[in-house]
Amino acid sequence: MVVVYLRWKSTNSAESLAELMNTYHDLDSEVTREIVEEEVLDQRSEDISRIANREGVFFNADLFPMPGEVFEITPVGVTWWSTGEDTVDMFVLADEGFDISLGTRYTRRYIYGFTIQWNPSVRGGDWLVTSQDDPSRDPDYQPAEEEYHLDHEYWTPIAGVTPYDYPTHSDPPRY
């Protein structure tokens, strides 16, 4: 479920993201287009601005997202552990690709973190995201470089996915 959810998050459409979050999150209130713009798209814009500054590439955060700008999430590995009878914590290793400016594409490895819970009353029984806490976003989480590599013991590869060509453990990851 989370793998499909992340693939569907590969959009900059506030309407599509709101619909997705309302479908797959266990929420007390409806997610609106405005909420997505303020929380999800602003966060993406901050991430891209930080990377653009580091790379010395112009990025106008006020114009994000522009028509034609792409944000792709390709889950490549997963690890999970049960935290309760109907609750699972999981990390998803993903390749993200996005446009910094016209003609400038950036890719990085990112680790998403989710808590999901089985809800038998939703769609005849389905997993819902109850919280999202991405290790890659947490300033206190200092993963070893090899944790960003698909061949690390944490990760179970996702079938049918071709990850970006990342280096082996001896080379630094590009995230």
Pick from 67, 66, 12: nearest CA to 40? 12
At 149-171, the pLDDT tens digits run 888 898 999 887 766 655 433 33
Tokens representing 35 are 């909420």
Domains of the chain by residue range: 2-157
Is the pLDDT assigned to residue 104 strictly greater than 80? Answer: no
For residues 138 and 40, which has the higher predicted lDDT (pLDDT)?
40
- Reported in sequence order, the residue ranges of the chain that DSSP labels E, i.e. its strands, are 71-84, 87-101, 104-119, 126-132, 156-157
Is the pLDDT assigned to residue 57 strictly greater than 90? Answer: no
The arithmetic mean of pLDDT across residues 114-123, rounded, is 90
User: Which CATH architecture fits 2-157?
Assistant: Roll (3.10)
Q: How confident is the model at residue 175 (pLDDT cuts 50, 70, 90)?
A: very low
C-alpha span between 99 and 66 (Å, rounded)? 10
